[in-house]
Amino acid sequence: MDAMRHMLPRLQLTVPMPMKTGKVAMSPGEDGLIGIPFPEHSNELLSHLNDQRRTGLLCDLTLTSRGTHYPTHRSVMAAVSVYFRRLFGTEEGGGEGGGGFRVCQLDCVAPDALDALLEFAYTATLTIPSSGMRDVLRGAQLLGIQCVADACRDILGETAEAEGETAEEQRAQHIVTERMMERERGVEKGSRRKTDRKKVKKVGSHHISSLVLNPSPASPASYPSPASDSFRSLPSTQPPSPEQEELCLKSGQNGDPRAIRESVRGATLNGGHLHFLHQRPHIAHPPPVPSSNDKLSEDDEMESFGDDGMLMESTSIPTSVAERGAAASAAGGGRKRKSQTPQQCPVCQKIIHGAGKLPRHMRTHTGEKPFQCSACGVRFTRNDKLKIHMRKHTGERPYPCPHCPARFLHSYDLKNHLSLHSGARPFECPLCHKAFAREDHLQRHRKGHSCLELRTRRPRRGPELGDDGRGDGAGSKQSNPLESLSLQAHSSAFLPRTVLDGGSGSGAGHPLIFPGDGERERSLALQALAQFAPSRLASYPGLFLRGLELRGGREAEGEDPGGTHSPAARRDRWADEVEEEIGEEEAEEEE
DNA sequence: CTGGGGAAGGGGCCC
DNA sequence: TGGGCCCCTTCCCCA
């Protein structure tokens, strides 16, 4: 995310762009580059693609599963699936341009699971019935949608070390995987040249033996592995209709969770499955071989869902958590650790600190509100919130202001209030130097546009401004492009969360959750809750999986696993950003 | 746009 | 380990 934060201001914009507010931001200077973020762009883009998929518009790939057809886009599938990425990646240059429709038969993936995976691909939301979890997991593994597979495993409470797979099995599967992939590539290439396709046996029973039904010449294990780990079985081609080319995925042991786990483990042991280690600091079941897998091969990125390098770098604590988990696992031989502090939320990947806090956090996903006000019936997720709420009924305002008759419900309200008496405004905008009594007001100020105009007048400000020792250097050139840079930097430092953190802001910011599908949204969380606090699920007979939000940003960053949650740390970070902004100004000025 | 109140959610401490 | 309690930050809403 930081990378994006730094990147955005450098994006060039030459035309007025409509802002979310409806206003139009003009490029402040012809020679200045300004980056204007469009937080909703990615969401809208995906949404439009999903619309196209639903209407079959521009679909150049059809996935089929047991008779059900799913029109889709190759580009999207390649973006979300390692399998398709590799598959289509072999078609460089020619691609599907002349191939027309292509059909990929994935009978080994249950239709519901395939549908869920497609929904995920186009919405970043995974909605599946709990009963279909394994199917989705298997499908995700087959297609190389690692993040989904990880999440499913989290929910299922399966661990890589839980299975009893032998190394031989893993190697065998890996080899088969490689072979199948190699053959697949060959077929893909050949399919563009020939109208007739190889007849490939379609396997309805997903047994591992089917994997070797169509052995192809062994190829070097050239595929790095997240793909191969997911590709414990790989598609083979099949002549469908004359104009279609079909691919058939053959899975391993159908429905056998062990098989799934085995594939996971195999991948890990085979040197792949790197995301599992880095991007998902799994607490409950860390991968057994972390160090040797630290490097992602170039095209193994699954970070299209926000798990980027920055994320990896920022998850030091989760990593340590995972290591601790591994240690505990090794020591106790346990399969899953139900609870440990800190814990990672299987839904949003957020690291929750504090013993017993995860169930509390999970209620934010499930929507469960077990605490009801006896007076007005309002429900709350937490008992302490209910307690505070009750003060409204009792009239209790336990926090009186010592300077005036005002009384408050919350201590922090009193704190805010006291700042009025003291006149303290400790939160100063480093750019326009307007001071605020509350930090959130400063943030709001910075997010808004008001500061921009002030900023243009800043250069003449006096020496009391700490950063103006250098900043005023910039200020002396207020007419130069620096100002635009300042503006952009200023704005960029407080980009909406949807931009900076991958849309992980509060509820409204979650993009791509199907509206009106609230029940389904809860599913994954409920599943997770079933794992962490099963007793709480008694009242949730129907479990659906809530979307994997797969946030790239804040949550994925472990929600400040490094302790930057502290106000001081946050301010430090913020100050760093400001310094960077100013540094950019200076650099620009020198030019 | 700003000030202020309130809600929501997370973390720390303690039992 | 889970829960209670408290404090904190962030966000939303309203005047």
Of A109, A99, A83, nearest to A181 by C-alpha is A83
SS (H, E, C) A527-572: HHHHHHCHHHHCCCCCCECCCCCCCCCCCCCCCCCCCCCCHHHHHH
pLDDT for the residue numbered A119? 82
- Residue A535: nearest nucleotide (C-alpha to C1'): C2
- Residue A413: nearest nucleotide (C-alpha to C1'): B5
Is strand B less than 7 A from the beta carbon of A354?
Answer: yes
Residues 325-344 of A with CB under 7 A from strand B: 342
Please compute the mean of the pLDDT values over residues A340-352 and round it to a whole number: 72
> Does the pLDDT at position A123 exceed 70?
yes
pLDDT for the residue numbered A503? 33
Is strand B less than 7 A from the beta carbon of A23?
Answer: no
Our measurement of CA A554 to C1' C14, in angstroms, reads: 29
Pick A561 or A391 by higher pLDDT: A391
- Residue A353: nearest nucleotide (C-alpha to C1'): B11
List, in order, residues 6 or more apart from A179 with CB less than 8 Å away: A215, A216, A217, A218, A219
pLDDT for the residue numbered A341? 57
Angle ∠(A521,A523,A525) on CA atoms, nearest 5: 95
Residues with CB under 7 A from strand C: A 337-341, 354-359, 383-384, 387, 410-412, 415, 438-440, 443, 497, 505-506, 508-509, 532-533, 567, 570
> Does the pLDDT at position A187 exceed 80?
no
Note the pLDDT tens digit of each residue in A191-213: 333 333 333 333 333 332 332 22
Pick A476 or A86 by higher pLDDT: A86
Our measurement of CA A526 to C1' C15, in angstroms, reads: 40
Please compute the mean of the pLDDT values over residues A421-435 and round it to a whole number: 75
Please compute the mean of the pLDDT values over residues A227-247 and round it to a whole number: 33
* Exposure b/e, A213-228, CB count within 10 A at least 16 = b: ebebeebebebbbbbb
The percentage of chain A sitting over the pLDDT mark of 90, rounded to a whole number, equals 0
Mean predicted lDDT score pLDDT of chain A = 52
Match 């004359």 to its residue by tokens.
A242
Our measurement of CA A277 to C1' C15, in angstroms, reads: 51
Please compute the mean of the pLDDT values over residues A25-48 and round it to a whole number: 55
Q: Find and give the residue nearest to C12, measured CA to C1'.
A: A506
Lowest mean pLDDT among A25-29, A40-44, A96-100: A25-29
How sure is the predictor about A85, in pLDDT bands with cuts at 50, 70 and 90? Answer: confident
Please compute the mean of the pLDDT values over residues A125-130 and round it to a whole number: 71
Note the pLDDT tens digit of each residue in A239-289: 333 333 333 333 333 333 333 333 333 333 232 232 332 333 333 333 333
Nucleotides of B under 7 A from a protein CB: 1-15
Residues 492-511 of A with CB under 7 A from strand B: 506-507
Note the pLDDT tens digit of each residue in A515-555: 334 444 445 555 544 554 444 444 333 333 333 333 333 33
β-bridge partners, A428: A435
Q: Is the model's pTM score more than 0.85?
A: no
Note the pLDDT tens digit of each residue in A130-182: 777 788 888 888 888 877 887 777 667 665 434 333 343 344 344 334 444 44
Our measurement of CA A34 to C1' B9, in angstroms, reads: 35
- Residue A398: nearest nucleotide (C-alpha to C1'): C6
Our measurement of CA A242 to C1' B6, in angstroms, reads: 65
Our measurement of CA A211 to C1' C2, in angstroms, reads: 47
pLDDT for the residue numbered A345? 77
Our measurement of CA A389 to C1' B7, in angstroms, reads: 10
> Does the pLDDT at position A72 exceed 60?
yes
Residues 294-323 of A with CB under 7 A from strand B: none
How sure is the predictor about A86, in pLDDT bands with cuts at 50, 70 and 90? Answer: confident
Distance CA A142, CA A166 (A): 20
Distance CA A529, CA A381 (A): 14
The percentage of chain A sitting over the pLDDT mark of 70, rounded to a whole number, equals 33
List, in order, residues 6 or more apart from A207 with CB less than 8 Å away: A252, A253, A254
> Does the pLDDT at position A60 exceed 70?
yes
Pick A114 or A576 by higher pLDDT: A114
Is strand B less than 7 A from the beta carbon of A410?
Answer: yes
Pick A508 or A44 by higher pLDDT: A44
List, in order, residues 6 or more apart from A395 with CB less than 8 Å away: none
A332 exposed, middle or buried (CB, 10 Å; 0-12, 13-18, 19+)? exposed
List, in order, residues 6 or more apart from A347 with CB less than 8 Å away: A151, A362, A365, A524, A525, A528, A546, A548, A549
pLDDT for the residue numbered A435? 79
Question: Under a CB-based contact definition with an 8 Å cutoff, are residues A520 and A367 in contact?
Answer: no
> Does the pLDDT at position A406 exceed 80?
no
Match 């240059």 to its residue by tokens.
A93
Match 């994954």 to its residue by tokens.
A524
pLDDT for the residue numbered A2? 35
Is strand B less than 7 A from the beta carbon of A282?
Answer: no
Residues 362-401 of A with CB under 7 A from strand B: 363-364, 380-382, 384-385, 388-389, 392
List, in order, residues 6 or more apart from A587 with CB less than 8 Å away: none
pLDDT for the residue numbered A120? 84
Is strand B less than 7 A from the beta carbon of A438?
Answer: yes
Please compute the mean of the pLDDT values over residues A463-483 and round it to a whole number: 33
pLDDT for the residue numbered A580? 53
Our measurement of CA A408 to C1' C5, in angstroms, reads: 18
Q: Find and give the residue nearest to C10, measured CA to C1'.
A: A440
Please compute the mean of the pLDDT values over residues A463-486 and round it to a whole number: 33
Q: Find and give the residue nearest to C5, measured CA to C1'.
A: A384
pLDDT for the residue numbered A467? 34
pLDDT for the residue numbered A491? 36
pLDDT for the residue numbered A110? 84
pLDDT for the residue numbered A133? 79
Our measurement of CA A508 to C1' C13, in angstroms, reads: 14
Our measurement of CA A441 to C1' C14, in angstroms, reads: 15
Nucleotides of C under 7 A from a protein CB: 1-12
Note the pLDDT tens digit of each residue in A284-343: 333 333 333 333 333 333 333 333 333 333 333 333 333 333 333 333 333 333 334 567
For residue A171, give both structure tokens: 């190697």
> Does the pLDDT at position A111 exceed 80?
yes
pLDDT for the residue numbered A104? 75
For residue A91, give both structure tokens: 């078609």
Is strand B less than 7 A from the beta carbon of A78?
Answer: no
Of A113, A62, A154, nearest to A251 by C-alpha is A113
pLDDT for the residue numbered A151? 74
